[in-house]
Amino acid sequence: MPSFIPTKPISYGRQTITESDIAAVVETLQSDYLTQGPKPQEFETAFAEYIGSKYASVMSSGAAALHLCALALDVKQGDKVITTPITFTASANCVRYCGGEVVFSDIDETTYLLDIHKVRALLEHTPKAERSAYKGVVPVDFAGLPVDMQAWRELADEFGLWILEDSCHSPGASFLDKQGVEHRAGDGSLADLAIFSFHPVKHIATAEGGAVTTNRQEYYEKICRLRTHGITRDPAILQENHGGWYYEMHELGYNYRLTDVQAALGIEQIKRAETGLQRRRAIARRYEEAFAGTPVMVRSVPEGFHHAYHLFVIEIEKRLECYNFLREHKIFAQVHYIPVHLQPYYCGFGWKRGDMPVAERYYDHCLSLPMFPALTDEEQEYVIGKVLEFVG
Ligand SMILES: *Cc1c(COP(=O)(O)O)cnc(C)c1O
């Protein structure tokens, strides 16, 4: 076997930056606008087209996108919102930003996604009088496997809930509905709102950055206003008009803008999104092939679902030892995620170990292996070799 030794650590995920990315950023730095110029809108148009939604609003981070969605959905004190414990904390935090209550529900045994049957049972077992406190659900396309949004839409309509899809892991993922129609993650066809992140480990990088996609014009407009201080210049909305400088603030907003410099990077990145996705899928196929019939467990993708592979998760005995072994060999695998209900902040609301047995069992064994388009075949074979060496 050729003895390849990595010269620097191979992380679980990382960005790809090309000469054209650098040129676009430099060109923007030399232009008239570092922020509030034309680039964010150009990026928005390209992103909406890629995702397949009517509208996209880009902003400073995925967490900012979640916050503005929670505001647009009018989350407030006393409202209950359901989400999964196997996600990044931001999926839950957006509910708390608005004073709502986070209700965790366990994941599915085979997909790692929020278990729709358990959510249905939770709602059905809640006395009718208390059921109206449940306002919405935040399903997460964990690792890049999209949720069955048709099923979620049916459940949400039955119980009068809204759906905010956390699609940070799944740009380019899709599934076929019962009629055989393809829905891309976050395309606005079924969920009310969806959010994405442009953090460097995600599919499209702008350093920090995020987006909301939707087909609902009223949500889109509100989110765009909240992104810039709640300010509007739209003549149709202004109560007065004193001249060209005039604007009005009608609601409390934030500065969650994405800069032109970041958007310029995003515009270049999106041109490679499809090839990056194909590369991720090829890497996944190689891992699956290499681990078939070994003690390294990989869950299969349900039929009709097209995975986007933000993460490649294995489940393994002696996970801590495996993590340390890989690290000694310059492979920086990672764990996604520490169940959110076990974070001390959420334990403060009464959540505890034992509440989400499937998620907790999953957490004890999961490990995310390197998965990013720039991972070379040589590096991947090295990773596979070390994992197999560990399991013996
Ligand atoms: C990355 C991520 C976020 C937050 O994105 P930021 O841009 O880092 O704020 C939210 N949810 C999930 C599932 C993520 O992976």
Q: What is the pLDDT of residues 196-245, one digit of tens each?
A: 999 999 999 999 999 999 999 999 999 999 999 999 999 989 999 999 99
Please provide residue 166's backbone torsions phi and psi, each rounded to the nearest 5 degrees. Answer: -90, 100
The predicted pLDDT at position 3 comes to: 79
Q: Best substitution site from 94, 199, 256 to test ligand 1's pocket, by max atoms within 8 Å of Cβ?
A: 199
The identity of residue 352, as a single letter, is K
Q: Which domains does the chain possess?
A: 19-272 (3.40.640.10), 274-391 (3.90.1150.10)
Question: Which atom belonging to ligand 1 lies closest to the Cα atom of 310?
Answer: 15
Tokens 């810039």, residue located: 228
Pocket-forming residues, ligand 1, beta carbon under 6 Å: 61-63, 87-88, 90-91, 140, 166, 168-169, 197, 199, 210
The predicted pLDDT at position 1 comes to: 52
Buried b (16+ CB within 10 A) or exposed e, 100-115: bbbbbbbbbeebbbbb
* Reported pTM: 0.97
| Residues of the chain below pLDDT 70 | 1-2
Cβ–Cβ < 8 Å for 56, 213: yes
